[in-house]
Amino acid sequence: MKYAVIKSVNGNFSIDSEWDNLQSAIMQWHSVCRALWAESTVETATVAVVNQQLEDVESGKYKEFISHTVNA
């Protein structure tokens, strides 16, 4: 089975990375989430690990919604 870390940041979708190993994908997911939580230009983001059928892995355990209040 193959896995991907996908993300939507401020409405822009992308595949962050692809993996043959679930543990490696989970480690990258943590890294991406951490970076987006720290990034001040991110208003909203969603990051998820999905399998090759685009299904959430482990019942959506590796899906994170990030939201920041943007100061004008």
* Mean pLDDT, residues 61-66: 97
Stated pTM of the model: 0.91
**What does the alpha-carbon distance between residue 65 and residue 35 come to, in Å, rounded to a whole number?**
13
Vertex 23 angle, CA 20 and 29, to 5°: 95
Average pLDDT, the chain: 95
Contacts of 27 (CB under 8 A, 6+ apart): none
Dihedral Cα 64, 25, 50, 36, nearest 10 deg: 30
Contacts of 22 (CB under 8 A, 6+ apart): 1, 3, 49, 57
| Percent of the chain clearing pLDDT 70 (strictly above) | 96
